[in-house]
Amino acid sequence: MSILYSGGLVFDGQGEIHENHGVLVDEGRIERFASLGEFDGYRGETVDTTGATLLPGLIDCHVHLVMAGEGDPGAMVAKLTPGQITMRALKHAQQSLAGGVTALRDCGGRDYLEFAVRDACNRGQQLGPTIRASGRIICMTGGHGNHMGRVADGIDDVVKAVREQIHAGCDFVKIMATGGVMTPGVDPEDAHYSAPEMAAGIGEAKRFHRPTASHAQGAEGVLNAVRGGVTSIEHGIFINERCIAEMLENGTYLVPTLAAIDNIIARADAVADYVIEKATRVSEIHKRSIKAFHDAGGLIAMGTDAGTPFNHHGQNGQELALMVAIGIPPKDAIKAATATAADLMQLPAQGRIAQGKQADFLIVDGDPTQDIAKIAEPVHHRAVIKNGLLVDRSLARVN
């Protein structure tokens, strides 16, 4: 059965707003995107978007489905049974979908339990976004994320760890290049894996046709990952001119996750002191780094780090408001959450409004290219559409 969406604006995912256009959907795909005159005589079902904007569903390239945004998410996960962890991961996937996120990338779970959620959602057995998952993060002894990751030291062990993720069924591989904010006793500016270790892990993933993501905050670690051929840098807090130049040369994506630091600082009363100290230290330089990368023409894909402290699934759109707040134009921020994010996640049928693409939409009040709050705040969302079907937005409740 066909449905015509018309009456309002259409953001095509690539940076352009279209007036007086309609989007015709049939069997979960966009059959035609054209000026309204081309739909004269259409007598099928219609959805009136007057006063609103239809855009591709948001794509979040960095979440942790097993974590729920507690003050110490890792400690909470450690207390749960495998069944409880799996069920909360499904709940978080559904909250994200109801909040406008029609595809996401899980950047580190627990014992591959999130893979069951990924498979159920991707096969249509459960309602949820399209999911890509890395499995266990790979880190050095004592490195960032070691409490949940696959600890590996030396080239041979790193290669073996990558093979383990591939054998488990990962969609991409995540390797930790530096220290981080949430792990005690490590410095975000310190490089962890050596350049040869990083290159070996990334190279092994490529050999088996897997993209790679690297938690990389300090400049030295960023360069180790970029020179090793990593697909995306996660966070990129201390990227400098050299990092930016080499990322541009290599076509490396940056996934900023501004919401992670912002939410930690906003709830200083409920987070460990060492976390607050590091978050406060990196906050402003992080913002400057992301803006500099944008201004240089770098590829930015939206990611929130949802699941980290007070960074809730279903509220993913706040990342766009934070991007705009540091000086990124709204159109560029929305493109980062649609077309560019789809390219990073290798989802050719998503992220754009065009013939043949998947009918994954977010419909919001007003014009988000003029007021990013229309996307950032779910109260302004009129509807979420996944594969041409209306999503029950009550699933977005945080409880």
Q: Do 119 and 225 belong together in one domain?
A: yes
Domain CATH number, residue 248: 3.20.20.140
Q: Do 234 and 107 belong together in one domain?
A: yes
What's the distance, CA 297 to chain centroid?
Answer: 20
Counting runs of H as helices and runs of E as strands, what totals does the chain give? 13, 20
- Whole-number percent of the chain with pLDDT over 70: 99
Is the predicted pLDDT of residue 1 greater than 90, yes or no? no
Strand, helix or coil at 178? strand
CB 129 within 8 A of CB 104: yes
With respect to residue 194, please indicate whether it lies within any of the assigned structural domains.
Answer: yes
Is the predicted pLDDT of residue 399 greater than 60, yes or no? no
Q: Do 326 and 368 belong together in one domain?
A: no
Q: Do 271 and 375 belong together in one domain?
A: no
**pTM across the whole model:** 0.96
Of 326, 344, 362, which residue constitutes the final position of a domain? 344
The model's pLDDT over 6-15, given as tens digits with 9 standing for 90+, comes to 999 999 999 9
CB 236 within 8 A of CB 215: no
Is the predicted pLDDT of residue 392 greater than 90, yes or no? no
Q: Do 144 and 43 belong together in one domain?
A: no
With respect to residue 27, please indicate whether it lies within any of the assigned structural domains.
Answer: yes
Q: Provide the domain count of the chain.
A: 2
Is the predicted pLDDT of residue 258 greater than 80, yes or no? yes
CA distances from 267 to 70, 74, 263, 355 (A): 11, 17, 6, 44
Dig out the tokens for 124 from the structure: 């249509």
The model's pLDDT over 319-359, given as tens digits with 9 standing for 90+, comes to 999 999 999 999 999 999 999 999 999 999 999 999 999 99
With respect to residue 196, please indicate whether it lies within any of the assigned structural domains.
Answer: yes
Strand, helix or coil at 30? strand
With respect to residue 398, please indicate whether it lies within any of the assigned structural domains.
Answer: no
CB 155 within 8 A of CB 189: no
Domain CATH number, residue 385: 2.30.40.10
Interval 211-240 mean pLDDT:
98
User: What is the pLDDT, as a whole number, of residue 397?
Assistant: 65
Bridge partners (DSSP) of residue 103 are: 59, 130
Q: How confident is the model at residue 398 (pLDDT cuts 50, 70, 90)?
A: low
Q: Do 338 and 383 belong together in one domain?
A: no
Characterize the bridge pairing of strands 101-106 and 130-133: parallel
Q: Do 172 and 149 belong together in one domain?
A: yes
Q: How confident is the model at residue 203 (pLDDT cuts 50, 70, 90)?
A: very high
Which residues constitute the domain of residue 364?
2-56+349-391
Q: Do 157 and 220 belong together in one domain?
A: yes
Q: How confident is the model at residue 147 (pLDDT cuts 50, 70, 90)?
A: confident
The model's pLDDT over 157-188, given as tens digits with 9 standing for 90+, comes to 999 999 999 999 999 999 999 999 988 889 99
Q: Do 337 and 378 belong together in one domain?
A: no
Q: Do 39 and 70 belong together in one domain?
A: no
- Whole-number percent of the chain with pLDDT over 90: 91
Q: Is 225 exposed, middle or buried (0-12, 13-18, 19+ CB in 10 A)?
A: buried
The model's pLDDT over 375-389, given as tens digits with 9 standing for 90+, comes to 999 999 999 999 999
User: What is the pLDDT, as a whole number, of residue 131?
Assistant: 98
With respect to residue 201, please indicate whether it lies within any of the assigned structural domains.
Answer: yes
With respect to residue 188, please indicate whether it lies within any of the assigned structural domains.
Answer: yes
Q: Do 194 and 238 belong together in one domain?
A: yes
With respect to residue 397, please indicate whether it lies within any of the assigned structural domains.
Answer: no
With respect to residue 399, please indicate whether it lies within any of the assigned structural domains.
Answer: no
Taking the C-alpha atoms of residue 301 and residue 335, their distance in angstroms, rounded to an integer, is: 8
Q: Do 276 and 372 belong together in one domain?
A: no
